[in-house]
């Protein structure tokens, strides 16, 4: 019972997002039991005290869009200095050769890097299921459970290969019947609808240029049947808009509406090239947008209109995107990237360090359809990242919270997920990072040589 659960006081943090927690937070079981004001004491005895006086405390960061497998193709020579479509064409044949061990290790690498950056919840968009890799999502679920990371894994899909006018090679596409059957299997096996869920499943056709209109509609119907969310890439580049017009006779948002996706069940990756009327329609529908600043800069795709989308009513979250277009999986770095990139579009007074952190916490939680994570509030899940400011980069910094973003924090010192410490003194518990790095290098070299 909760009354018997261990009570931990994370005491006197150096700074938090909420002044009501200046004296710390009491965790009981998996949730936040109390916020302690400055100078206050817990209302009931605690079992443990963690001295956080040298730590800035944030809600666990939430990564709303990623491709874990791409950690195997970082800085890939054949894909350098290319825009999205040519970049994809150079990498699809490589990714078509992925194997089970590659999915296992690339998932471990991505989740480990995210954890070390203070990320406690991660959504992955996996859409490659070549022959022999039909159980990719099962492998990812097992690795997430080992590391204790909260995940939203999306069952991606590609059904429109090069022979049918799409971008992917035929070896990477599946039949629509196979896609839908496996989608339903994964929902029934892994989706946890309850508050505090550690694993959830969403349906995620890769993009308008890699699946058919029928599959988009069928995925929406299946998601409604099982009350799960929908995800896809949309409006990332002008090439994509041109493709939609050529293929379907519609701009991306019009196409989204036609296939039944303009709803609050949906969150979209990138969402860069929307006009004013489309932003109003997305906002009215409550459709979420995951901003991926590093990827958008690397591929020269453009800038997401975050503040207009939020003002219209769309939740805006943050994602690192794939490690082949970032080329990392570091959420606290992504907060800084979003902060800096969005200041090129908006006034400094409107894009604050708090705003950027909010995109990576509450905003991403809303994109994922969750109200139990992303905030320091009683009853929310006990997911936290605690950061020290003892590196040279922080020397002389004034405001501790702002320093995380402005001075460029790289790594969390302590990370808690669902009341359990998963990172202690900057190290992931029960994980040999040196061995993992070695295996990752071997597999990346193997994949490149196939």
Domain count, the chain: 2
Q: Look at residues 252, 254, 61, 21 and name the one whose alpha carbon lies nearest to residue 149.
A: 61
Both 52 and 67 in one domain: the answer is: no
Task: Quote the pLDDT of residue 82.
Answer: 94
Both 40 and 79 in one domain: the answer is: no
CATH of the domain at 357: 3.20.20.140
Both 263 and 195 in one domain: the answer is: yes
Torsion over CA of 432, 433, 435 and 437, rounded to 10 degrees? 160
User: Does residue 445 lie within any of the structural domains?
Assistant: no
Both 281 and 392 in one domain: the answer is: no
User: Does residue 310 lie within any of the structural domains?
Assistant: yes
**Which domain, by its residues, includes 47?**
2-58+378-427
User: Does residue 439 lie within any of the structural domains?
Assistant: no
Both 273 and 215 in one domain: the answer is: yes
Task: Quote the pLDDT of residue 4.
Answer: 72
**Angle, helices 100-116/433-449, rounded to nearest 10 degrees:** 130
Radius of gyration of the chain measured on its C-alpha atoms: 21
All residues at 6 or more sequence positions from 227 whose CB lies less than 8 Å from its CB, including other chains = 193
User: Does residue 437 lie within any of the structural domains?
Assistant: no
User: Does residue 447 lie within any of the structural domains?
Assistant: no
Both 241 and 337 in one domain: the answer is: yes
Strands (E), 127-259: 150-157, 199-205, 230-234
Q: CA-to-CA distance for 106 and 172, rounded, in angstroms?
A: 18
Task: Quote the pLDDT of residue 3.
Answer: 58
Task: Quote the pLDDT of residue 85.
Answer: 87
Task: Quote the pLDDT of residue 1.
Answer: 41
Q: CA-to-CA distance for 427 and 115, rounded, in angstroms?
A: 10
Sequential pLDDT tens for the chain (450 residues): 455 789 999 999 999 999 999 999 999 999 999 999 999 999 999 999 999 999 999 999 999 999 999 999 999 999 999 999 899 989 999 999 999 999 999 999 999 999 999 999 999 999 999 999 999 999 999 999 999 999 999 999 999 888 887 778 888 899 999 999 999 999 999 999 999 999 999 999 999 878 999 999 999 999 999 999 999 999 999 988 998 999 899 999 999 999 999 999 999 999 999 999 999 999 999 999 999 999 999 999 999 999 999 999 999 999 999 999 999 999 999 999 999 999 999 999 999 999 999 999 999 999 999 999 999 999 999 999 999 999 999 999 999 999 999 999 999 999 999 999 999 999 999 899 999 999 999 999 999 998
User: Does residue 306 lie within any of the structural domains?
Assistant: yes
What DSSP line would sit under 207-226, residue for residue?
Answer: -TTTS-HHHHHHHHHHHHHH
Torsion over CA of 358, 360, 361 and 362, rounded to 10 degrees? 60
Q: 3-class SS at 349?
A: coil
**Angle, helices 176-190/213-226, rounded to nearest 10 degrees:** 20
Task: Quote the pLDDT of residue 430.
Answer: 83
Both 104 and 165 in one domain: the answer is: yes
User: Does residue 432 lie within any of the structural domains?
Assistant: no
Question: How many Cα atoms sit within 13 Å of 450 on the Cβ side?
Answer: 18
User: Does residue 351 lie within any of the structural domains?
Assistant: yes
Q: Quick check: 289 and 314 in contact, CB under 8 A?
A: yes
Both 278 and 132 in one domain: the answer is: yes
Both 49 and 94 in one domain: the answer is: no
Neighbours of 39 (CB within 10 A): 8
Q: CA-to-CA distance for 338 and 345, rounded, in angstroms?
A: 11
| Max CA distance (Å), the chain | 68
Both 162 and 261 in one domain: the answer is: yes
pTM for the predicted model, two decimal places:
0.97
Both 73 and 52 in one domain: the answer is: no
Domain boundary, last residue among 324, 346, 367: 367
Both 50 and 80 in one domain: the answer is: no
CATH of the domain at 413: 2.30.40.10
């Amino acid at each position: 019972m909760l009354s018997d659960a261990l009570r931990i006081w994370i005491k006197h943090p150096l700074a938090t997002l909420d002044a009501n927690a200046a004296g710390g937070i009491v965790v009981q079981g998996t949730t936040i039991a109390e916020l302690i004001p400055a100078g206050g004491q817990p209302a009931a005895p605690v079992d443990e005290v963690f001295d956080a006086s040298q730590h800035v405390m944030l809600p666990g960061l939430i990564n709303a869009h990623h491709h874990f497998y791409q950690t195997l193709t970082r800085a890939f020579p054949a894909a350098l200095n290319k825009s999205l479509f040519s970049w994809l064409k150079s990498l699809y044949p490589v990714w078509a050769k992925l194997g089970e061990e590659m999915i296992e290790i690339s998932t471990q690498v991505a989740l480990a890097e995210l954890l070390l950056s203070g990320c406690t919840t991660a959504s992955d968009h996996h859409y490659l299921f070549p022959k022999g890799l039909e159980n990719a999502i099962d492998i990812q679920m097992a690795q997430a459970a080992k590391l204790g990371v909260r995940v939203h894994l999306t069952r991606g899909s590609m059904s429109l290969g090069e022979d049918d006018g799409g971008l992917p090679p035929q070896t990477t596409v599946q039949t629509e019947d196979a896609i839908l059957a496996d989608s339903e299997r994964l929902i029934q096996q892994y989706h946890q609808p309850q508050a505090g869920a550690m694993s959830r499943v969403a349906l995620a056709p890769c993009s308008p240029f890699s699946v058919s209109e029928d599959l988009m509609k069928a995925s929406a119907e299946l998601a409604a049947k099982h009350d799960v969310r929908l995800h896809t890439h949309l409006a990332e580049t002008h090439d994509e808009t041109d493709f939609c017009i050529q293929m379907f006779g519609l701009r991306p948002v019009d196409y989204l509406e036609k296939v039944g996706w303009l709803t609050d069940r949906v969150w979209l990756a990138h969402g860069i090239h929307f006009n004013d009327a489309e932003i109003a329609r997305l906002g009215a529908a409550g459709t979420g947008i995951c901003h991926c600043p590093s990827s958008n800069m690397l591929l020269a795709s453009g800038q997401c209109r975050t503040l207009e989308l939020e003002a219209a009513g769309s939740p805006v979250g943050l994602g690192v995107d794939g490690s082949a277009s970032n080329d990392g999986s570091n959420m606290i770095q992504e907060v800084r990237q979003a902060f800096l990139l969005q200041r090129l579009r908006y006034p400094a007074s409107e894009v604050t360090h708090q705003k950027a952190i909010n995109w990576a916490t509450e905003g991403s939680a809303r994109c994922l359809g969750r109200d139990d994570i992303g905030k320091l509030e009683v009853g929310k899940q006990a997911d936290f990242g605690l950061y020290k400011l003892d590196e040279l980069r922080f020397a002389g910094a004034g405001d501790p919270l702002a320093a995380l973003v402005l001075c460029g924090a790289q790594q969390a010192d302590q990370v808690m997920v669902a009341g359990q410490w998963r990172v202690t003194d900057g190290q992931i518990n029960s994980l040999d990072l040196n061995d993992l790095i070695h295996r990752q290098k071997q597999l990346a070299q193997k994949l490149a040589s196939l």
